Amino acid sequence: MDYKKIFTEKGLINIDKFFIYMQNEFEYGWLDKNGKKHYGVNDAQSYSLQSPSELLKSHIGICWDRTELHRCFFEKMTSLKYETYYLFYDDKKGCPSHSILVFYDNNKVYWFEPMFNDKNCFYSGIHEYENLNKLLEDFKRIFVKDAVMNGLIPLDYTPSAIQIYKYKAPKKHSNGYEMRNHINNSELINIGKK
């Protein structure tokens, strides 16, 4: 698949244009193994991680799907260093979570976030930080604010239950269990220790 050609034909020739496209053109939801659209929290068994080309066609995805499209864009359309991170609250039940892409440019690090655009917790943007630790601390702060506000985690949540992993590209069409296994076998990040 010639992703560079696809991005160029859509006019997605720089990070700002890609950000606007990702913020405005996609719904939050997921596809199952049969390609059927669903809204809300994904079912781990039925969920299927879309390839970037599938997401470009469906225009619906959860953070895992979208982060893989972000990864594809940064790989094909920039020469910048980028990484992906996954934060989750281990409540031994649904484990509320979010994944993001960060990139580095001119001795700064940026959180590429077109998804946090809920009216209750709007934090969509390309946010600049002095270092990765500050970025991840802010990621944790915003995630907790959003999750508490939306009732995904309790107000008296357990801070040690929040975990952040740096992860590499997962296998396409992974279900939710396979995705979590991939992430759990990735690099656990201890923010505040760097």
Per-residue pLDDT tens for 182-194? 999 999 998 764 4
Show the tokens assigned to 152.
Answer: 């995904």
For residue 58, what is the enclosing H or E element?
helix 52-58
Task: Note the pLDDT of residue 194.
Answer: 42
Task: Note the pLDDT of residue 19.
Answer: 96
Task: Note the pLDDT of residue 43.
Answer: 86
Q: Three-state DSSP class for 25?
A: helix
What is the C-alpha to C-alpha distance for residues 10 and 53, in angstroms, rounded to an integer? 13
How many residues are given for the chain? 194
**Nearest alpha carbon to residue 72 among 54, 46, 98:** 54
What is the C-alpha to C-alpha distance for residues 57 and 66, in angstroms, rounded to an integer? 12
What is the C-alpha to C-alpha distance for residues 148 and 187, in angstroms, rounded to an integer? 26
Q: Three-state DSSP class for 176?
A: helix
The CB density around residue 76, as the number of other CB atoms within 10 Å, is 17
What phi and psi, each to the nearest 5 degrees, are found at residue 149? -60, -35
Interval 38-43 mean pLDDT: 85
Residue 178 has pLDDT above 90, yes or no: yes
Show the tokens assigned to 53.
Answer: 């080309």
What is the C-alpha to C-alpha distance for residues 120 and 143, in angstroms, rounded to an integer? 12
Q: What is the pTM of this model?
A: 0.93
| Angle between helices 15-25 and 63-77 in degrees, nearest 10 | 160
Residue 20 has pLDDT above 90, yes or no: yes
The per-residue pLDDT for range 69-125, each reduced to its tens digit, is 999 999 999 999 999 999 998 877 777 889 999 999 999 999 999 987 766 666 889
Sign for the pseudo-dihedral over CA of 51, 56, 61, 64: positive
What CATH code would you report for 3-189?
3.10.620
The per-residue pLDDT for range 130-177, each reduced to its tens digit, is 999 999 999 999 999 888 888 888 899 989 999 999 999 999 999 999
- Neighbour-count burial of 1, counting CB atoms closer than 10 A to its CB (0-12 exposed, 13-18 middle, 19+ buried): exposed
